[in-house]
Amino acid sequence: MSNPQTLFDKVWGAHVIHARPDGTDLLWVDRHFVHEGSHHAFRKLAARNMVLAEPGLTFGVTDHYAPTRGAPASDDIAGMIQTLKANAQTHGLEHFALGDPRQGIVHVIGPEQGLTLPGLVIVCGDSHTSTHGAFGSVAFGIGATDVAHVLATQTIWQRRPRAMRITVEGTLSPGVTAKDIALAWIAELGADGARGHAIEYAGSAIRALSMEGRLTLCNMSIEGGGRFGMIAPDEVTLDYVKGRPYAPGDWDRATAAWLALQSDADAAFAREVTLTATDIAPTLTWGTSPDQAVPITGHVPQDATRDVLDYMGLRIGDPLNGTPVDQVFIGSCTNARIEDLRAAAAVLRGRKARVPGLVSPGSSAIKRQAEEEGLDAVFVQAGLDWVASGCSMCVGMNGDLVAPGKRCASTTNRNFKGRQGPGARTHLMSPAMVAAAAVTGTLTDVRPLLEGRER
């Protein structure tokens, strides 16, 4: 009789090529995504006259520097985009380039194209690769040296993390989303609360989430210190994958294997955390770390440090509700899928934004779908800018920035100092909450604005 295994144990174990006594394993990599920042790794290969081990398993994506309005913001940015294109051509990679109707943010188009599948090991030189774990895959970000190693060998050395389970039971209240679950658990456990762990999300509230919600939750796993996040595949997963361009041909065989990827009943986790869904309210950050978050009805806490308060322009005891904002941003690999845009549009429809803002869909396909549904018109009529797909103002590499000292309500995943531009003050929240901030000009509770409206 074998020992009971977690979902993580099953996927990780199936990919181990060689195990060292020190707990470091050599893993086979099923999918490797590269973007504009991967040029260092390609340069390492070129210096050694090496070719890719498995070019059919590597996919290039233009996203971090992708212009959302017209041409690239600078010659340097244009050069980064061109370098990825040249590397993809040299090595024969599938490349989701600018102008490609499939182009978008890597962690959006991987699932969208059916490249992200249950039971895979997926890596990318981007920390939010954890997003793909929503399908029951082991997915994590890697550094430039590791990117080169994967390109050359299709393998990676990794120390095996411990398994942790976060269970959320019950039904989320109206106006509460996966983003609020993520911010709530990170605020409760801290930025290092899951350090060294592979997180599995479980419970009735998790099973009730759409794939879009699950992607948001797994995306934020690393903000609480987790190595990555996972959710066991179920019928929601299968319904999402079916018919995608890269979905497997032998569907029945594939789905039978996927549905077997469940933690065994008696599987042991190094840590267990349980949350009650009804205890979670619309949540947002007040400081410069994702764990510095409170419900919208909360206040800046007593233990806030002077440097954070000075940077954010806040005082201990200040209520978050009613704090003026200067602009809003809806986008990023965290919250720019069609469900996110619909949620924001439900708040904005028939209303005017009091502050400027940018809406950048997660992919070109989502942009087209949103336009077919008339969501773009809702945003434009409200006074927000509807732009092309890319990482955009999440990280500010393409020229979309928050000005110094300005306060932005944002659907992104990080609120570090300077993340959206030097001196930018970022408050993380859900798309509906950002839309509420747009129409009121302040950080505000979205729930009254949703009354009587269908999402």
pLDDT one-digit tens code per residue, 254-302: 999 999 999 999 999 999 999 999 999 999 999 999 999 999 999 999 9
Residue (of 355, 373, 217) closest to 280 by Cα position: 217
* Residue 33 phi, psi dihedral angles, 5° rounding: -100, 135
**379 Cβ partners below 8 Å, 6+ apart?**
344, 345, 348, 359, 385, 386
What's the number of CA atoms in the CB half-sphere (13 Å) around residue 49?
0
CATH number for the region 7-274 comes to 3.30.499.10
Give residue-wise pLDDT tens across range 198-249.
999 999 999 999 999 999 999 999 999 999 999 999 999 999 999 999 999 9
Confidence class for position 2, pLDDT limits 50, 70, 90: confident
pLDDT at site 454: 62
Q: Is the separation of the CB atoms in 365 and 96 below 8 Å?
A: no
Q: Is the pLDDT of residue 453 over 80?
A: no
Regarding beta strands 327-330 and 357-359, do their DSSP bridges make them parallel or antiparallel, or are they unpaired? parallel
Model confidence at 312: pLDDT above 60: yes
Give the predicted TM-score (pTM) of the model: 0.97
Mapped onto helix, strand or coil, the DSSP state of residue 86 is helix
Find the distance separating the first CA and the last CA of the chain, reported in whole Å.
Answer: 49
Where do you find CATH 3.30.499.10 in the chain?
A: 7-274, 283-447
pLDDT at 173: 96
The per-residue pLDDT for 455 is 53
Rounded to the nearest integer, the mean pLDDT of the chain is 97
Question: Are 105 and 333 in contact, with CB atoms under 8 Å apart?
Answer: yes
- How far apart CA 449 and CA 132 sit, in angstroms, is 32
- CA 54, 60, 64, 67: dihedral to nearest 10 degrees? 170
Residues 6 or more apart whose CB falls under 8 angstroms from that of 342 comprise 373, 375, 455
Find the DSSP H helices in 130-172.
144-153
pLDDT, tens digit (0-9, with 9 covering 90-100), for 374-412:
999 999 999 999 999 999 999 999 999 999 999 999 999
pLDDT-based confidence at residue 146 (cuts at 50, 70, 90): very high
Pairing of strands 283-285, 293-295: antiparallel
Note whether 409 and 433 are within 8 A (CB): yes
What number is the average pLDDT over the span 416-428? 97
At 426 the three-state DSSP class reads strand
Edge-first strand order for the sheet with 24-28 is: 16-19, 24-28, 155-159
Work out the pLDDT band at 70, boundaries 50, 70, 90: confident
Separation between Cα atoms, residue 410 and residue 300, nearest integer Å: 18
Q: What are phi and psi of 209, to 5 degrees?
A: -75, 145
Q: Looking at residue 37, what is its pLDDT?
A: 92
Domain 283-447: top CATH class: alpha beta
Q: Report residue 454: phi and psi, to 5°.
A: -95, 135
Q: Is the pLDDT of residue 339 over 90?
A: yes
- Cα dihedral 77/387/283/171 (nearest 10): -120
pLDDT at 105 over 80: yes
